[in-house]
Structure 1
């Protein structure tokens, strides 16, 4: 059995020549929507849009599936036609679709006719194609998609009929065509192609006078309605008829139209284009996905100035020039030009029409008339159109061809939202080059030998340019024009001078700051202010709540302004609702911050610092509610900390904002806000302990110690010395730690501060314990314990009880150790100090292991491990894992020991701790035992 599907008339199916009952119109519409893409997957959402449009029923997918089930029953698989569910859509599988579906057969015949070597063969093919039409396409169906598809199909029918007439004229027909062309000329009174065919047919029929009169009437209509003369081709035909040119009869293949103009307007392909393979593939995929004879393919390439949009468009267009034998059009719309106004669509259309062979005096004056003529000339032609540097979507829309065989590449610094929404443009946002692509660009510009001779310098240049194509190109030009200068020297200059090295006084197009400045021309004052403030705000990225604090705007308004900067490709949206600038764009933004009044700029920085400080303080309270923490002063007016409902959200916020908080402390120090500097170091301490950020914490407390000297409370200086010492110990800087602790204790004694004395003795115990002097550590811990008891600080008392237990265990006094740990756990449970309890339980695990009860040791260690995982205590977790491996080994459980030690090794390495070498040795020894 064979099946045939008819779309070029009433939608129906024929099985072995007999009509098949397809059910109601919606069901036939489903078949039509699949048949136009036979052999290709049609996504379910697109299928529903075609069938129902905006009136898709609430259970659209279920209804669609029901229709498809009925179609499957009407078209059994034995008929070599099948509707299959694939990849979120449906595909109509049918043997030889270009034979079985009349629309696809029609298109196949047209394509073969275009490729035919002989006009007689082309006539035969086109005649067969035209006779496939049985009236109005998609008869019996309605809806938005159907109407649009019907209009497109009518246009295809008209072009095919005109192609057939041209082919018949080429083989010598004339009189036979007069009646048909007279009717067609009446339907299309301003179509010069139809008019030319009609004139030649009349002339060949011996009716030259009628042909000349027809020309006169057409000319009058063009002048009256469009204000233009007939085109050059029609005027030339008129002249030849007047002159009784014998070649109009003598050449059976004579064409009434002049040779097709094939414009080649693309500028030269970029000489040193490298990388971007993913982006090039995405552009090609857009074309391939659309398929032949579908609709015009529009790709909107977005990105910041100097990111390489034009290079990408030109590189792709040149690579695929063979796909567009009818030519290429290119225009720079100058949407972001330094001194010039954007090119008006009217002027761009005039250039395109001229390139397509239209005489200047034939080009209409009205924009809509120009656009209509342009679309008419582009119909049926396979061309690529590059619209470079568009300012807005309105800048582009009049320049879009209507022909389905065209591809349009639009580049812009804005996202051209309505072009995406209304014209189905596929958006491609360009980012910077990756490291390999950036190195390849430098190698292409400077030569492989020079790049390979200084790999470290090249790496630094790539890093300093951040993969930004224009910055890399400027750097390459600076190096290429000074071949005697080492690349290391070029890198040193770039590192020292930054944007100054990427500027050019006399050639704005060769200056990164100048190119970026062109994007600011279309910003409002509010948007320009935020752009400048983002250049000086602390941190590598930001969020709408932080921007609201920075600007004093509401969060809703802050999001609007951020969206405008994102639309202008000056900032990028990152996962988690974060916004970031490229480092070079940020450096340029910082230069524009000078335009913001100094008091406004400083007030903005104060607000955003207070936002981060007070949110960090709130997070710290959630992470460790028992730790005594001085309250920072009230925030600037209007600033509210970010709401953190629980410990988990607090930890997530601190992880996301960590780099920004470090930068905030540095910015506060530069502004002389010493209280912010000190409080930020304090607020991040517990987070740093749990996450093992040793070096960051050490650096923060160094800055905080300097700021403490400017604060009135002497406790801040004592605490700064003590906290800095804690991190010195963790980094193995024991002498430095001892000096700071002696300072801390002296200040605490001098100012009669027993609580600070207790904290310092506790820290001295930890420092001595880290160096293996457990006797001295125990003495300091007992001294701290007495002080905490006298001050009635039970949480701290529990903490030091746990420390006494640990030091006693290390000295071999396991009974004392066990007693103190259990006492600590009682207090810790009473006060809900789960982190402290984990430390005490861990020590009980150590005691059990060293007293030979290895199973009990595992129980304690795993209990502590679960708590530390839940609290995110990465630093303590690594120690816990290492300890856990030893009782596993003692019990002969080598696989379990290997697993926990490997996890400990990974954490130690991430934290940069010397313990990694010890664990690696333990793993090696375990492997030896297992052999």
Structure 2
């Protein structure tokens, strides 16, 4: 920034600096995402967010929206453009029965009002009534923070920390949040802004009386459409002339649907495909079938679903039934092909037919999802068909597709990790092929929520081997990103499944991977118990690699529990086992672990010798994360010898490599040791910088060690 520019601002000749200047300064100061927003708004409260932090997440609006004038007027009351007239946070709840058009109203208004929210719109489907996968507020916040420009490595692990960052980013911003399909007030509260000019629209079958009472939400209760609105909806899809020619038949059709928007849309979609058919023929075919779907409350709606299903081609009807077996929340053409035993090209026409008739929605390009009523209907059809063999074969193909697509992707993500022996592949089944690391990462990013649900469903339906092997594959995606809670949940299901069928290999792997999550989450007692179980199982299986992996992990837990001598013995035994089977990557990592533990027990020359050997092997093999860990150990040994400058050099090189591989947990650990080394050399500013960076990461991760980091910062730089 030029001196003249600064003088112009100070003298009042220029009221505010340019937006580009403010953002450049924010970047130069290396501010956190939340601090950057506050800095920019301090310079100019009306300054819009940068393009990368101006999310536009609204799904497509429902075509042919009609009516709801009073409700739209209520929502419009939250669109005050003048800051003085804006409430701090305006919250609207839209409640009503399933299929009544809550989401349609919310999205129609949101698109119409988008111009009033120049800093963006956030959207999440909370799946409140999908028992298998209600969205946890913590997961919803992760999606919002990513949309607001927070890098994945900067998102805290804990709910409280995520809530705080979310509210900081939304403070003083004019944004719209659509929280769709909420289960209850408790699911919604963590997602609400704390202040500022935001508007929140929540849809739910529940009236959310808690939000109305405590947060002052404005309730909007939806009923079915009026007769006039129902006729307008049909006219928007079929044309007014066609209805005018047969008004009595049109009225019968409306009565048969109970004036429920979802049912009307499905009926209209089918009638639109047959413009030459008389309406009275459709009306005559819409008769309630008492034997259909007792699980759904309204007989007229059941009749509409049955009517639409019976009109499908045989391939589309079969696909619709089998989709009821899918764990959700959505699927691709490849997954649909696996369910049916076809190719993606063969199943494409059936997917088009289902979407054309509004029985399925392509909510993202290439990804399909059910309305929850239609999912329940498809599942009921599958059960009532009495074809248990067909259902089991379809599930087998589906789990096979997910396992044999995720297994090679997992190997691409973590090529240094020991693998498992997957269940033999189903011949000629469809596969999703990841060509490289980035493709594998993208596949897991798109599918990991489906895979988590597949782990649970496989465990519940008699496919236990698929459950623990899918959980193993997910670890390669979860662990580097610090998603320890997700890993713990998956491995708990995997372990229970393997125990149920006495699968020793599955039990051994699940115990070991569960212990890793428990270690990172600070539950060392539970982690050590799991490791002892895993070690015994690997010994019974005569699996030296599994034993080495378990001993290696146990060495770390022993060190963390203040037993470095015992940890050293475990590390040395792991090294011997790795060497006995020629596992060079494991050998190098065990050499590093042994080196660290030599240093922890005071044998510094042997520590440096062991780590130097490990580092040479890792550089030869290109194991960057392994190199980072070994450099950290070398720094630890040099620090114990009093060679603090050499230690700092090792730490800085390790930190760069950890950052390169997005391993924030170990980056924070090494930053703390760098802070200690800098303080030991008298470089207090350098120590403060390292500890501050460590504390920031630990805060983001929700790690308990953050408290100690902040205490050290307070000691080094008292107020």
TM-score of the aligned structures, taking structure 2 as reference length: 0.58
Match of 1:741 among 531, 543, 553: 531
SS in 1 for 2:324: helix
Partner of 1:550: 339
The residue correspondences of 1:210-289 to structure 2 (distance < 5 A) are 272=71, 277=76
Q: What is the deviation of 1:801?
A: 0.7
- Does the 8 Å CA contact 2:515/2:527 hold for their aligned counterparts? yes
Partner of 2:571: 781
SS in 2 for 1:893: helix
Instruction: Classify 1:810/1:720 alpha carbon distance in 2 versus 1 (closer, same or farther; 3 Å).
Output: same
Q: Distance in 2 between matches of 1:275 and 1:888?
A: 60
Match of 2:324 among 510, 514, 535: 535
Partner of 1:579: 368
SS in 2 for 1:635: coil
Q: Distance in 2 between matches of 1:774 and 1:270?
A: 71
Q: Distance in 1 between matches of 2:437 and 2:477?
A: 11
- Does the 8 Å CA contact 2:484/2:517 hold for their aligned counterparts? yes
- Does the 8 Å CA contact 1:734/1:767 hold for their aligned counterparts? yes
Deviations, residues 496-536 of structure 1 (Å, cap 9, x unaligned): xxx99995446x3xx6x667667657644433433333333
| Number of equivalent positions | 488
Q: What is the deviation of 1:855?
A: 5.0
Q: Does 1:706 align with 2:496?
A: yes
- Does the 8 Å CA contact 1:689/1:875 hold for their aligned counterparts? no
Deviations, residues 247-267 of structure 1 (Å, cap 9, x unaligned): xxxxxxxxxxxxxxxxxxx99
Partner of 2:404: 614
Partner of 1:83: none
Q: What is the deviation of 1:548?
A: 2.2
- Does the 8 Å CA contact 1:669/1:677 hold for their aligned counterparts? yes
- Does the 8 Å CA contact 1:842/1:864 hold for their aligned counterparts? yes
Partner of 1:900: 693
Q: Does 1:306 align with 2:100?
A: yes
Q: What is the deviation of 1:567?
A: 3.8
Q: What is the deviation of 1:843?
A: 1.8
The residue correspondences of 1:380-391 to structure 2 (distance < 5 A) are none
The residue correspondences of 1:808-887 to structure 2 (distance < 5 A) are 808-851=598-641, 853-887=643-677
Q: Does 1:689 align with 2:482?
A: no
Q: What is the deviation of 1:712?
A: 7.3
- Does the 8 Å CA contact 1:433/1:468 hold for their aligned counterparts? no
Partner of 2:510: 720
The residue correspondences of 1:242-641 to structure 2 (distance < 5 A) are 272=71, 277=76, 306-307=100-101, 432=180, 452-453=212-213, 503-505=296-298, 508=300, 520=309, 523-575=312-364, 577-594=366-383, 597-641=387-431
Higher alpha-carbon deviation: 602-611 or 527-536: 527-536
Q: Distance in 2 between matches of 1:611 and 1:468?
A: 43
Deviations, residues 839-863 of structure 1 (Å, cap 9, x unaligned): 1122223334555555544443343
Partner of 2:86: none
Q: What is the deviation of 1:696?
A: 2.2
Q: Aligned-pair RMSD on alpha carbons?
A: 4.5
Q: What is the deviation of 1:751?
A: 5.0
Partner of 1:209: none
Q: What is the deviation of 1:743?
A: 2.9
Instruction: Classify 1:653/1:874 alpha carbon distance in 2 versus 1 (closer, same or farther; 3 Å).
Output: farther
Structure number with higher relative contact order (C-alpha < 8 Å, ≥ 6 residues apart): 2
Instruction: Classify 1:553/1:749 alpha carbon distance in 2 versus 1 (closer, same or farther; 3 Å).
Output: closer
SS in 2 for 1:825: helix
Q: What is the deviation of 1:814?
A: 3.0
Q: Distance in 1 between matches of 2:224 and 2:606?
A: 67
Q: What is the deviation of 1:777?
A: 0.9
- Does the 8 Å CA contact 1:532/1:593 hold for their aligned counterparts? yes
- Does the 8 Å CA contact 1:901/1:923 hold for their aligned counterparts? no
SS in 1 for 2:368: strand
- Does the 8 Å CA contact 2:675/2:691 hold for their aligned counterparts? yes
Q: Distance in 2 between matches of 1:593 and 1:615?
A: 26
Instruction: Classify 1:313/1:697 alpha carbon distance in 2 versus 1 (closer, same or farther; 3 Å).
Output: closer
Deviations, residues 53-80 of structure 1 (Å, cap 9, x unaligned): xxxxxxxxxxxxxxxxxxxxxxxxxxxx
SS in 2 for 1:579: strand
- Does the 8 Å CA contact 2:180/2:203 hold for their aligned counterparts? no
Instruction: Classify 1:808/1:270 alpha carbon distance in 2 versus 1 (closer, same or farther; 3 Å).
Output: same
Q: Distance in 1 between matches of 2:652 and 2:372?
A: 45
- Does the 8 Å CA contact 2:632/2:654 hold for their aligned counterparts? yes
Partner of 1:409: none
- Does the 8 Å CA contact 2:397/2:426 hold for their aligned counterparts? yes
Partner of 2:146: none
Q: Does 1:647 align with 2:437?
A: yes
Deviations, residues 820-875 of structure 1 (Å, cap 9, x unaligned): 11111122233333322221122223334555555544443343334334434344
Instruction: Classify 1:547/1:468 alpha carbon distance in 2 versus 1 (closer, same or farther; 3 Å).
Output: farther
Deviations, residues 582-637 of structure 1 (Å, cap 9, x unaligned): 44543344334336543333222211211111111112222233433232132223
Rg larger in structure: 1
Q: What is the deviation of 1:802?
A: 0.6
Q: What is the deviation of 1:540?
A: 1.5
- Does the 8 Å CA contact 2:468/2:498 hold for their aligned counterparts? yes
Deviations, residues 528-581 of structure 1 (Å, cap 9, x unaligned): 433333333123222222222222232234344334434444444445643333
Partner of 1:227: none
Consecutive unaligned residues in structure 2, runs of 5 or more? 1-64, 81-97, 111-177, 183-187, 189-198, 227-291
Q: Distance in 2 between matches of 1:315 and 1:813?
A: 69
The residue correspondences of 1:148-227 to structure 2 (distance < 5 A) are none
Instruction: Classify 1:472/1:709 alpha carbon distance in 2 versus 1 (closer, same or farther; 3 Å).
Output: farther
SS in 1 for 2:421: coil
- Does the 8 Å CA contact 1:305/1:519 hold for their aligned counterparts? no
- Does the 8 Å CA contact 2:671/2:694 hold for their aligned counterparts? yes
Q: Distance in 2 between matches of 1:882 and 1:730?
A: 17
Partner of 1:793: 583
Q: Distance in 2 between matches of 1:883 and 1:566?
A: 57
Higher alpha-carbon deviation: 754-763 or 776-785: 754-763
Q: Distance in 1 between matches of 2:221 and 2:367?
A: 21
Q: Does 1:804 align with 2:594?
A: yes
Q: Distance in 2 between matches of 1:472 and 1:735?
A: 58
Instruction: Classify 1:562/1:902 alpha carbon distance in 2 versus 1 (closer, same or farther; 3 Å).
Output: farther
Q: Distance in 1 between matches of 2:450 and 2:203?
A: 33
Q: Distance in 1 between matches of 2:677 and 2:351?
A: 56
Q: Distance in 1 between matches of 2:344 and 2:628?
A: 41
Partner of 1:404: none
